[in-house]
Amino acid sequence: MKYRADIDGLRACAILPVLFYHAGLPFFSGGFVGVDVFFVISGFLITRIVADEVTQKRFSLIGFYERRARRILPALIAMIFASLAAGWFVLLTDEYVALGESTVAAALFYSNVHFALSFDYFARAAEFNPLLHTWSLAVEEQFYLFFPPLLMLLLAIGRRQTVLIITIVLCIVSLICAEYVLHRYHSIWSFYLLPFRAWELGLGAVLALASWSPPRNRLIREFAGIVGLIGVLVPTFAYSADTQFPGLYAVPPTLGTALLIYVGGQGGGSVSNSIISHRVLVSIGLISYSLYLWHWPVFAYLRILYGTTALPIYVSLIAMALSILLAYASWRFIEQPFRFRPPKGPSRSLVMRLSVSFLVVVSAIGASLSLLNGFPHRLSEKAIEIASVAQDVNPIKTDCQHASPEPLGCEFGASDSGQASYDFLFWGDSHANALAPGIAVSASEHNKSGVFATRSACAPVFNIQRTKPDRACVEFLENVRSFLDENQDIPLIILSARWALSVEGNRYPVDGNGTVRLQWVGGQDESPLNASNSSVFEAGMRHTLSHLSSPGRRIVILGPVPEVTFDVPIEYARAELLNANTMRSLPYNTHLARVSQTEGIFEKLAASDPNIEYISLSSLLCDEIECRVVSEDGVPLYTDDDHLSATAARSLLPLKLETLWGAAD
């Protein structure tokens, strides 16, 4: 296949937005679409080569996989070893175990599946994982595991035109499934898993199989080139983390890429193709694979050291420069020497055996990190003790996290004998789960028995939901509603949640800066005056409190627990590991700015009904200057950045609830 400079330039148009997006530069909020551009380019080039070799009866699967090994493995293995070496000095035991698991997944090219299954509500932000970016390599290699043999078989038994039609049908099915899964099941599956990304690689394959000549009319070529360039560039600036991606929103950048490849084919070209063929872009495109490999660990380790996903701009600029230097060195001294087999070089079979051997070694090293618990001897006993607080969670957390539990929740307090009636219902999300040990202690002291209903990321509010709805949360809320309708005699209902997240709609950078947008799903007669999070939330709370109200029943709302701007046990343990004196706290003004709007809503609701009580929890940890994040002996009070530890809940919360049970008698 004749070399095309515009395709290398197109690679630059893919990697630069990815780099700028990960650096957190302004205006590149949709830079993640660069990966989709890579998928189309890869699908086109590989299919073109394979189809031509099959047609000419000189295709060899061993030869194909040998070329892939030479192209992919040397730089990948070097990057993994460098990440493991850095982790030895920087990562805590749990983090090193996670890196080991990611290493095995990356070496065996199933990291997309690994990350799709391992990220849950309590997982640390993905931006802290040094090997997260290998998911896209896994998607490609899984595609090339089955597509070349399938292509070889189809071309052997049918015409190229028939194979083209089959490929088009498969792409359409993949896109439909991606859009369906994105909205009906889990967006992570649609993002990471091959069946829902295959259509993007397949689009490039369609272009290669069709072998369409570019339009002869210059105006048509120019128009197509401009449309293609717009399709690639505009999403880079217009999309954001809130975009329902990939699915149909991935169509513009992928079609734009396909148009530019098509127009720039033999006998064609346009001004747009000339622009992306500029030598600066071509040079960047040549190192794009190494730049993709090396930039992410650089950013990930800097985020780990700074304890935040939002790096200072000067740090991001330095990281970009370092990434480019590493990428050039990787391209020059690793990629290029290994990419082509010299005439007297090792045989194909030897290359494949060496490749498999290296991957086995890398996998074994990764597995050893998991089996040996992250080599804890690297850390002092104090660092291990501090880090272990992350595991100090509600002991019944897992048992009480169900969408359709029977019974509804977990019985706790003075009695768990399964009595027909309860003194109270404690209902909420993961913040309620974190407070449950303190509620249990307090209830037992006052001889009260209750039931606990909880689901993470599912605030105890009817008639509202996130714009990216969780079907399990919807089901759980309906179960709670049914339970309450059947148990009108419960005299006390206690509500707890991460309220400020719903009201403010944003997170701190340590949580990945994700946003939460609420929408009203109730009747029009109760709908909020505007669509802001605070208005939607307040309307939902009014409806919920009205639904919960019944004669003789009290409703108590526990206020927000201070959300810290950093992961407390990890931050303090890493400071101990690195002998750094960077102990931070939470300024009270930061906490007040976060919760003032939320507390204002609750105070207004409590003032409107004598049976509704609001208990602020700020005083548990805060004075007028700062909010404590560790105990007097230096033990973290949080398991992460916003959940209290079980020990802290047991020691701090009962005193705050002294008046609660007396009023409920």
- CA dist 234 and 122 (Å) reads 34
pLDDT-derived band at 402 (thresholds 50, 70, 90) equals low
Annotate 492-518 with DSSP letters as a single string: EEEEE--HHHHHH-B--GGGTS-B--E
Q: Which run of H or of E encompasses 210?
A: helix 198-210
CB-based contacts of 548: which residues, under 8 Å, 6+ apart?
Answer: 484, 493, 555
Report the distance separating Cα 262 and Cα 552, nearest Å: 73
Beta bridge partners of 614: 557
Buried b (16+ CB within 10 A) or exposed e, 336-351: eebeebeeeeeebeeb
Query: What is the per-residue pLDDT across 245-288, written as a single tens digit (0 to 9) for each?
Result: 899 999 999 999 999 999 998 877 899 999 999 999 999 999 99
Whether the per-residue pLDDT at 475 is higher than 90: the answer is no
Q: How far apart are CA 189 and CA 240, in angstroms?
A: 18
Question: What is the structure's pLDDT at 466?
Answer: 86
- Closest among 593, 428, 598 to 508, alpha carbons compared: 593
CB 403 within 8 A of CB 472: yes
State which of 47-61, 92-106, 339-353 shows the largest mean pLDDT: 92-106
Helix, strand, coil percent content, the chain, rounded in steps of 5: 65, 5, 30
**What pLDDT is stored for residue 404 in this prediction?**
47
Distance CA 142, CA 109 (A): 7
pLDDT in tens, 308-341: 888 999 999 999 999 999 999 999 999 998 887 6
Mean pLDDT of 502-522: 85
Q: Would you state the structure tokens that stand for residue 396, as one six-digit string?
A: 């019944």
Core vs surface per residue 376-399: b (16+ CB within 10 A) or e: bebbeeebbbbbbbbebbbebbee
**Is residue 416 over pLDDT 60?**
no
> Which DSSP category does 239 fall into?
-
Our CA angle for 399, 404, 406, nearest 5°, is 65
pLDDT single digits (tens) 550-591 = 888 999 999 999 999 899 999 999 999 998 876 778 999 999
Question: Mean pLDDT, to the nearest integer, of 486-515?
Answer: 88
Check: CB of residue 494 under 8 Å from CB of residue 558: yes
Helices (H) and strands (E) counted in the chain, each on its own, are 26, 10
Give the C-alpha separation, 374 to 378, whole Å: 9
**Spatial separation of the C-alpha atoms in residues 311 and 513, rounded to whole Å:** 12
